[in-house]
Structure 1
Amino acid sequence: MSSGASGRPDQQPDQYKGPVRLRGRSIDPSTTDQRLLDSRGPADWVHTDPWRVLRIQAEFVEGFGQLSELGAAVGVFGSARTRPEDPAYAQGEELGRKLVEAGFAVVTGGGPGAMEAANKGACEAGGTSVGLGIELPFEAGLNDWVDIGINFRYFFVRKTMFVKYSQGFVVLPGGLGTLDELFEALTLVQTRKVTRFPIALLGVDHWGGLLDWMRGTLLGRGTISAGDLDMMTLTDDVDEAVSLMVDASREG
């Protein structure tokens, strides 16, 4: 599933545009999301955007069709930059394995790093390992531990699939993309767009400072309520994170 060494002189990571794989000189320096959202340039969007709706619709149909019978699942987020020697990688493998043992499929962004670790743990435990990839100019498709993989062009379609087919999220140490996924989930829970949706932050050293800031600054200034902080469980214990998912699933 990931790009392998081909020996070509122009070899660089493959680029995925939905189901299409590009290599070498065929790689597009822009992305579908970028062309949709970038307001610069001529006003040809008047003629092209209605047609984009059909492509967006097709991505929703593909995702719904592939995942509708997935069953109980937990979304796992984390950095694509996590190295195999990082303790967070081993923690991701343990998490993937124990989620499968608890009866869940594991759904990640399908990339390398922490996502690969969770997919690997799930796959080696004999469970369902799902990767929801996204078209990016600097990543090389789905990792080798994904059994069910879907590549999306649009972030918002991909995010819908995560929330619709996951019963909760476990968030490993990560950067901007992980923060984006975390805060979108928190907003959906806060606004009651989703209910009974547990969120576990795995890694006290990594996430503790963020929660301290939210408590001291956001709560201190009244821009969030105390209950908003209760939407997250901070822990270093994989078993506690898995138990949180199991308990919420039983309550639902």
Structure 2
Amino acid sequence: MLSTNFFRSASSLVRPTMMSAAAPAISAALRRGLATASSKLRAPTANDISNLQDLVSNVLVGDKDDLSHYNNDWLRTRTGHSNIVLRPKTTLEVSKAVKYCNDNFIPISVQGGNTGLVGGSVPVNNEVVLSLERLNKILSVNTADSIATCESGVVLQNLMDELENYNLMPPYDIGSKAQCLVGGNVATNAGGLRLLRYGSLRGTILGLEVVTAEGKILDLMRALRKDNTGYDLKQLFIGSEGTLGIVTK
């Protein structure tokens, strides 16, 4: 849920802190924890692929060359080796796929338009790629409140074209708008060409729908510009690059 009525907000200042002597120990503990977690992860088997095909309406299976669009980053400098791409059409399909992979220790690489320049959405090894490109519906445009609601797989240019019909525009514009997806923009807190005038995307997102690692669907869709009802949980997911959950709406 994206506000298309623009307000500029002041950015907060964060005081830099000195790294404590305990930092190396903490870092070592984190490395041990990651190593333990990684040892449980495994590549999907033929049986896993069959089960995922029952859960997701569109699944691509092949070698890394067949799936090169999903295995290579925009600059072609990083290459993964995934042999399966999940292309869900609904949030429920995303939820079922994520829950299955989580329960079976199968790593997932979530992907939007794959327009990043640092390989952030490319599988490192042979993880399952979960592409959001088929979640591509613009659900509503509220002209009275200047609020647009869309799924995360909507191409930014398509959203711009739709809003132009209502004499509106999104508060950000980036060079990859013809290919990038709105969900990826949210996950990276994109700024772009309108950042200095309208601020970062974080300040104009009113609500989100998110799927957690356990497959739970969080409904954080609120149309209130000022909401005092507890924690503003959506802010945790904006800019988190998919590490805390998958934005679906």
TM-score (norm 2): 0.24
TM-score (norm 1): 0.24
- Structure with the higher helix share, 1 or 2: 1
